[in-house]
Amino acid sequence: MTVGVGKKRVAICAVAQLKNDPDLWHTRFQGMLLEILEDLQRQTGFRYGEGGVEQIVSVSDDFLDARTISNNGVQDVLGGQYLAEEKMAQEGLNAIGYANAVILSGHKDVVLIMGHCKESQGESRNLITNCGFDPFYGRAVGLDYLNAAGLQARAYMAKSGLTDDHLARIVARSRQWAAKNPYANARETLPPGKVKASPMLCDPIRQLHAYPVSDGAVGLLLASEERAREYTDRPVWITGFANAMDAFFFGDRDLTSNFALKKAAAKACERAGIRDLKGAADVVEVMDCYAYQQPMWMEGLGFCGDGEGARFIDEGGPGKYRVNLSGGALAGNPMIIAGLYRAVEAALQLKGEAGDHQVPDARCAVAHSTNGPAGQFHSVLILEA
Amino acid sequence: MSRYYGTTVDDIFDTMPERFQPQEAKDVDVVVGYECGGEGGGKWRLKVREGAMAVEKVEGDLGPCTATVFAADAETFIGVTLNKIAALDALTSGKLRITGDASLLMNLLPRIFKPYRVPGPAPVTARDIVAGMADRFRPDKAAGVSLKFAYDLTGEGGGRFTVAIADGRCRVTEGLEKDAAVKMTMEASTFVGLMTGTMDATAAFTSGKVRIDGDMGAAAATGRYFDRYVPPDAPRVEELLSLKKVTSIDQRFATGPVMGKWFAGLRERKLLANVCPVCRRTMIHPREVCASCHVRAGEYVELGPEGYVTNYDLVYYASPDPLTGAVRDTPYACAWIMLDGASPEEAFAFEIKKEDLPRLKIGSRVRPVWAEKTVGSFRDLLYFEIID
């Protein structure tokens, strides 16, 4: 399937996000989502049912929510009663890919996407991601997403020349931008020296190289080209989306190859009719849960050559290509919707509504997400104004 | 080699007279020829006429037959007979061929002959298994244990037995001793099924195949002190290990302002509902929005406290209470209660006083019974009791 310029298009009409917080102990998922929903309704005046939102795609995770069929718990608030509702159990950026397909197929014209997650609810998100491995071997050897990232960090640092110093600078820059983003979780600025002095979590990953425990919720209203103007004067167009999966078994993977991300990026560009993403993108939002991932994912997206992540940082790549002006995932988004937050940020930039971190005249934005241990699965979304 | 799947072609024909069901063959008059190639094969002729049958091994020509079966080798013939090889596959591959009236073979023969079974040793009885319990006893696992339990195993191969564990020894005696902590009553075949692993213990108990009188805990513990029973003819197989592990991640669930208000109400011994501003329905427990009208519901009313039962069931299976981890006392009722003042169809589920269960019915008037000290928890409500 190729969806390119001149064909049917799908618009992101409106976005809403909850301020990411280390511990939203005072509200249930339902309360978090309700704020998002009412924000979207204020922006667009959308209604449920025939002629309005007829389908909802929710995003949540059973293990993180600690209840099976986690979407059932929030149906009331999402408006799912009596309507079509499906849950994206993958990282939330894929909900946009799914809603895009629903609309392009002509099945529905207006789709609401709602994602929520509270990493603070469980005693440890590492225990939860440990359950992402098989019970016999992966869990037993103590693998979790942080541990997996530690292995990838060391391998990638060796390949690219990335140092502890680079990582400290990446974190410090993330915090500088997060300070301008009212929705970011960790907004206090941090000098690189403080990052380098933070304790090791999983050598070479230090505590401040890892994204903070975060609670949050996001929502988006998508519509077909014919219907988009009913909801917004500034639609943002989905021009390319793709995802790709690498091997699950760790021993089968080259952790530094960016295999899945390169595939996803190439496919998304093909769909968007973009030959050179580096030249086309005005803004990039990558899901960098750990500092080393920012240059590594930028490499996978083609913004620097193979193994040139350190040089990319040294030459000011993140500033030049306007990477993660929201503060990125490093400033704190819950893992299952961190990519959805990327899309929300990218859409705000293209709408000209990104506030203090707005890029002038942004026309094309890239939102990226990853899930699974050490970037097993990647998704790439290309948006255009 | 002429044995396949544990038997021979000869045995299949030799057992035909005992598998014959004359009452099914009253108006039958057929001759079936069999020709099986290779080692262990041969030719047989089966005649069935007026409720009688005769089968004979033939050296020369089979003569005229209503239908004839040709099998390429003994493996095919035995495999198809035992359904180990699909007849259709054998026919397609040409290893099996039928001439004459094929429908006769498919429809008539299965009716007038019981299916052939590979001969095996006499089946194990419940009595055999109980008799071997002392040998399977594991003193190391029963250290300090003093327990007497009894089996009342009805039907063929059963009996009444008492097993006594004390001082690191196990003694099995005939008869039901009165001071046994628990008596388990079941059909002997059920017991064999449980012991040989063809029947699930929980399923057998919940479906009523096993009756337990006395200490349930003792009944559940009996398996612990013995090695698993292994049938004497069990083939030696490689053991497949399974991993037993509890995945446990502590959670701290927020109640939020809406559920939070409800819990605060319980502390005051009040059953609060919130009211949809559009459709006026009462939601108990309160929820953030009315799902039908998509609006916040900020008005609270107190329901009940009395009401009537609209529906209920009785739970007999063991189910842990998630708030305490303790296994609930069974049976308990999950009753749906229309509290006075509630809007239609907005029922509230809760337990019913155990002593009231025998007279519980749809329509029973009930009232809540509260804990002596209320703390703002679901368990502030003990149960509902029936009002006479």
**What is the three-state SS of A247-266?**
CCCHHHCCCCCCHHHHHHHH
Residues of A near B (Cβ–Cβ under 8 Å) read: 24-28, 30-31, 34, 48, 63, 66, 75-77, 79-82, 118, 120-124, 127-128, 131, 135-136
Cβ(A362)–Cβ(A384) below 8 Å:
no
HSE, CB side, 13 Å, CA atoms: give it for residue B80.
Answer: 23
CB contact under 8 A, B245 and A135: yes
Are residues B45 and B165 part of one domain? no
Rounded CA-CA distance B189/B113 in Å is 26
Mind telling me how many Å the CA of A123 is from chain B's nearest CA? 5
**Interatomic CA distance for residues A270 and A124, integer angstroms:** 40
Question: Does the beta carbon of B346 lie under 8 angstroms from any beta carbon of chain A?
Answer: no
Partner residue facing B249 (CB), from A26, A82, A122 = A122
Are B290 and B182 found together in one domain? no
Q: B95-101 long-range contacts, Cβ below 8 Å, gap at least 24?
A: B95/B71, B96/B69, B96/B70, B96/B71, B96/B72, B97/B69, B97/B70, B98/B67, B98/B68, B98/B69, B98/B70, B99/B67, B99/B68, B99/B70, B100/B65, B100/B66, B100/B67, B100/B68, B101/B66, B101/B67
Cβ-defined contact of A77 to B288 (cutoff 8 Å): yes
Residues B284 and B203 in one domain: no
Helix, strand or coil for residue B13?
helix
Cα separations (Å) of A34 from A116, A191, B41, B121, B156?
A: 11, 37, 78, 69, 66
Residue B304 lies in a domain: yes
Chain A: closest CA distance from residue B264 (Å)? 14
A120 min Cα distance to partner chain B (Å): 8
Question: Chain A contact for B345, CB < 8 A?
Answer: no
What is the chain B residue with the closest CA to A25?
B254
Q: Which residues of A touch B287 (CB under 8 A)?
A: 30, 76
Cβ distance of A127 and B249 shorter than 8 Å: yes
The CA distance from B306 to B365, in Å, is 7
Same-domain status, B183 and B205: yes
The answer on pLDDT for A233 being more than 70 is yes
Chain A / chain B CB contacts < 8 angstroms: 70
Of B32, B9, B17, nearest to B113 by C-alpha is B17
Could you give the percent of chain A with pLDDT greater than 70?
98
Nearest to A133 by CA among A251, A229, A38: A251
- Kindly list the residues from chain A whose CB atom is less than 8 angstroms away from the CB atom of residue B346: none
Q: State the pLDDT at residue A5.
A: 45
Distance CA A250, CA B31 (A): 66
Residue B345's domain comprises 256-386
- Please provide the DSSP assignment of B241-306 as one string: P---------B----HHHHHHHHHHHHTT-EEEEE-TTT--EESS--SEETTTTEE--EEEEE-S-
Please check whether residues B67 and B153 belong to one and the same domain: no
Q: Which CATH number belongs to the domain containing residue B166 in this structure? A: 3.30.1050.10
Q: How many CA atoms lie within 13 A of A189 on its CB side?
A: 6
Residues of chain B found within 8 Å of residue A127, distances taken between Cβ atoms: 249
Q: Is B296 on the interface with A (CB under 8 A)?
A: yes
Is B284 near chain A, with CB under 8 Å? no
Given CB atoms, is B243 within the 8 Å cutoff of chain A?
A: yes
The Cβ of residue B107 has, within 10 Å, a number of other Cβ atoms equal to 10
Cβ separation A30–B258 shorter than 8 A: yes
Cα–Cα distance, A246 to A258 (Å, whole number): 9
Gap between the terminal Cα atoms of chain A: 23
Q: What is the pLDDT of residue A355?
A: 97
- Collect all residues of chain A within an 8 Å Cβ-Cβ radius of residue B251: 66, 121-123
Which residue of chain A has the CA closest to B241? A136
User: Pick from A31, A66, A75: which is nearest to B251 by CB?
Assistant: A66
Q: Which two tokens stand for residue A324?
A: 């993660």
> Is B288–A31 a contact, with Cβ atoms under 8 angstroms apart?
yes
Put simply, the answer to whether A121 touches B250 (Cβ < 8 Å) is no
Report pLDDT for B1: 54
Check if the beta carbon of residue A266 is closer than 8 Å to that of residue A240.
no
Residues in chain B: 388
DSSP string, A118-155: ETTSBS-HHHHHHTTS-TTTTTTTT--HHHHHHHHHHH
Q: Note the pLDDT of residue B121.
A: 72
Q: In whole angstroms, give the CA distance from residue B289 to residue B298.
A: 9
- Whether B257 and chain A come into contact, CB under 8 Å, resolves to yes
Please report whether residue B2 resides in a domain. no
Q: How far is A296 from chain B (nearest CA, A)?
A: 32
Confidence of residue A242 (pLDDT cuts 50, 70, 90): very high
The residue out of B170, B202, B225 marking a domain boundary is B225
Mark yes or no for CB contact A75/B249 under 8 Å: no
CB A115 within 8 Å of CB A60: yes
Contact assignment for B254 to A124 by CB distance below 8 Å = no
Contact check, Cβ <8 Å, B250/A123: yes
Report d(CA B151, CA B142) in Å as an integer.
19
Whether B238 is in a domain gets the answer no
List B residues 11-70 in contact with A (Cβ-Cβ < 8 A): none
Which residue, B173, B208, B225, sits at the end of a domain? B225
Residues of chain A in contact with residue B247, where contact means CB-CB under 8 angstroms, are 131, 135
Please state, as a whole number, how many other Cβ atoms lie within 10 Å of the Cβ of residue A226. 11
3-state secondary structure of A226: helix
The answer to whether position B3 is within a domain reads no
Question: Under an 8 A CB cutoff, do A30 and B255 touch?
Answer: no
Residue A4 in tokens: 């390119």
Structure tokens at B175: 């008869």
Choose the mutation target among A21, A28, A116 for the interface with B, i.e. most B CBs under 10 Å. A28
Rounded to the nearest angstrom, the minimum Cα separation between A60 and chain B is 16
Q: Which helix (H) or strand (E) holds B190?
A: helix B188-196
Q: Do B380 and B298 share a structural domain?
A: yes
| B106 and B131 housed in the same domain | no
CB B338 within 8 A of CB B310: yes
Q: Where are the domains of chain A?
A: 10-123+213-228
Chain B residues closer than 8 Å to A124 by CB:
249
Measured CA to CA, the distance from residue B16 to residue B6 in angstroms comes to 17
The angle, 0 to 180 degrees and rounded to 10, between the axes of the packed helices A293-300 and A164-178 is 90
pLDDT digits (tens, 9 = 90+) for A38-75: 999 999 999 999 999 999 999 999 999 999 999 998 99
Contact between residue B44 and residue B55 where contact means Cβ atoms under 8 Å apart: yes
Q: Which of A31, A76, A124 sits opposite B249 (nearest CB)?
A: A124
Q: Does B246 touch chain A (CB under 8 A)?
A: no
Q: Tens of pLDDT along A88-120?
A: 999 999 999 999 999 999 999 999 999 999 999
Interface test with B, best of A76, A78, A114 (most B CBs within 10 A): A76
Give the residue on B whose Cα is nearest the Cα of A80. B291
Cα gap B344→B361, rounded to integer Å: 19
Q: Cα A291–A296–A299 angle (5° rounding)?
A: 145
In this structure, the answer to whether residues B103 and B174 fall within a common structural domain is no
Same-domain pairing of B276 and B334: yes
The answer on B375 and B263 residing in a single domain is yes
Q: Is residue B120 assigned to a domain?
A: no
Q: Which of B92, B113, B83 is nearest to B5 (CA)?
A: B83
User: Is the domain of B359 the same as that of B288?
Assistant: yes
Cβ-based contacts of B254 with chain A (< 8 Å): 24-28, 118, 121
Quick one: angle between helices A293-300 and A145-160, nearest 10? 70
The three-state secondary structure class of A91 is coil
Residue type, position A16, single letter: A
Q: Is the pLDDT of residue A213 over 90?
A: yes
Nearest to A98 by CA among A186, A17, A10, A30: A10
Token pair in block for residue A367: 């939102």
B259–A contact, CB cutoff 8 A:
yes
Q: Kindly report the CATH class assigned to A10-123+213-228.
A: alpha beta
Low-confidence ranges of chain B (pLDDT < 50): none
Contacts of A43 (CB under 8 A, 6+ apart): A14, A16, A221, A231, A232
Please check whether residue A216 is in contact with residue A354, taking contact to mean a CB–CB distance below 8 angstroms: no
Determine contact: B83 vs chain A, CB below 8 A: no
Q: What is the pLDDT of residues A123-165, one digit of tens each?
A: 999 999 999 999 989 999 999 999 999 999 999 999 999 999 9
Number of domains comprising chain B: 3
Q: Cβ of A131 and B256 within 8 Å?
A: no
**Would the CB atoms of A30 and B256 count as touching at under 8 Å?**
yes
pLDDT at A1: 42
Residue of A nearest to B256 (CA): A27
Q: How far apart (Å, rounded) are the C-alpha atoms in residues B69 and A117?
A: 68
Q: How crowded is residue B365: how many other Cβ atoms within 10 Å of its Cβ?
A: 15
Count of positions (residues) in chain A:
385
CB-CB under 8 Å, B243 with A135 = yes
- Any CB–CB contact under 8 A between B354 and chain A? no
Using the beta-carbon criterion (under 8 Å), do B258 and A77 form an inter-chain contact? no
The partner residue sitting opposite A76, judged by closest CB among B243, B254, B288, is B288
Mutate to test the interface with B, among A81, A112, A124, A144 (most CBs of B within 10 A): A81
CB contact under 8 A, A30 and B252: no
- List chain B residues with CB under 8 Å of A22: none
